[in-house]
Structure 1
Amino acid sequence: MSSGDAFDGDGELAHGSFEVQHHIVASEESSDISRHATASGAVSIAPRQSEIFAKAVQIGGGTLRHLDSSTRGLIWLSNSRVDEFDSVLANHPQLTWVQLPWAGVDAFSEVLRRHARPDVIFTSAKGCFAQPVAEHALMLALSLLRYIPRRARATSWDSTFLGISLYRKNVVIIGAGGIARELIRLLAPFDTHVTVVRRRPGTVSGAHLTVTSDRLREVLPEADVVFVVAASTHETRHLIGAPELAVMKSSAALVNVARGALVDSDALVDAL
């Protein structure tokens, strides 16, 4: 795919040209929704049109039309116009499938609760951003370990900050979804020891150790790099706070590519 659209900082669809080279990385919680298929019908794109999504619908065998009483599927392309989304769902009870723009759906949580019905399937972009986000997270970690921000601002040579190698370091990944799985794959050449912290018991392929979130403080003291990639929920708010930061090494790198709410910003500033 060589051209299409991207999302701007406000969660709106911005038009432009870009190349897509990534593949979906499904988490173990992903499921095949085809068995839940309901009445067929046309698909609408709102609150604005998008050439790339229109092509995707057509390639998938769907029929596009403007939102009306015959529409059965809705692709919603805004993460900020929540009230409008709520109104659309209320005025179009015939909808049986709704696709949301991001992997996370916390912005829509109240609306989804209001409109939850057995005959309506809500889907998100979970897994679609795993590869680029994991790639970005690794870049941030390497940048911190090698003091790139400090060196980029330097005006003279300074051998004080030589940097730290990622090879054979202890890595803690908080979250076990698609981003975590892709991170594990990217970290493999560095021969790191990976510990995954997840909500429910169970192993994660490629991880050396998997623990539940109640053991987070047990594994943080040995971490050289901590990646935060968990979903934003009421339970994960300030998952990294003063107690967690206090047990981490002063040299540890903390990389949060999840929602900002997972890290207590005030506690982080105090720790720094």
Structure 2
Amino acid sequence: MAGCDLGGRGVLVTRPAAQADGLCALIAEAGGRPIRLPTIEIVPPVDPAPARTLLRADWDLLYFVSVNAVEQALALVPAAHWPRAARIAAVGRATAEALAAAGRAPDLVPSDSYDSETLLRHPALAEMAGQRVLIVRGDGGRAVFANALVERGAEVAFAEVYRRVCPAHDVAALLRDWDAEVGLALATSNRVLDNLVELIGPAGRAPLLATPLAVIAERTARHAGEIGFARVEVADRADDPGMLAALCRLCAVR
């Protein structure tokens, strides 16, 4: 990113291990030091049969809430066997790109902020009476989108195609050298942030909360403020360049 200099700062990258390479490369190119600490591991559902059945049924709208939802749905049912839904929706650009790569480019994508609340403002979703909607997500995802569509008359079901678990890490060395090693942190969801706080533990809470934090949604920024983070910057876009830009803005603030 032109004009971005992370100045040698260590950046705590909390994304799942399989999804961190691109952002870590951008951080390094901008003069930062990526520190990988994945706080979520994506694993298959205990029983994939219910989700597999739902993915093969007929729906008026399929809504994918994340790249993980696309990838894990593909692991259960190849895209060629998904129903010919009247419309497919994606929560944001990265999810839309994953769907397009699978040959099922979405019809609906938020135009600015990439979240369910923004997508709900799309005119195509204003009247949903009698529509059958499948939300493809992980276990225990948010219900904002589903609740809104039910209020608009839709019939909504969930295909939970993955689980999110907190991996085990030995953070003793990281805590010992925190002030010298960690200058910035990032979190891509409330769950990622909660797991980070849990992994760091009481001994590291104070230095963690003092570390400038970049997030991809206003709701995660609010959650971070409730936890006690002192400085939080929201990315303009929910992708790697957007996250890097947020990190760079944190560095620019004195």
Q: Which has the higher contact order (CA 8 A, sep 6+)?
A: 2
Q: TM-score, normalised by structure 2?
A: 0.36
Structure ranking higher in helix proportion: 2
Q: TM-score, normalised by structure 1?
A: 0.34
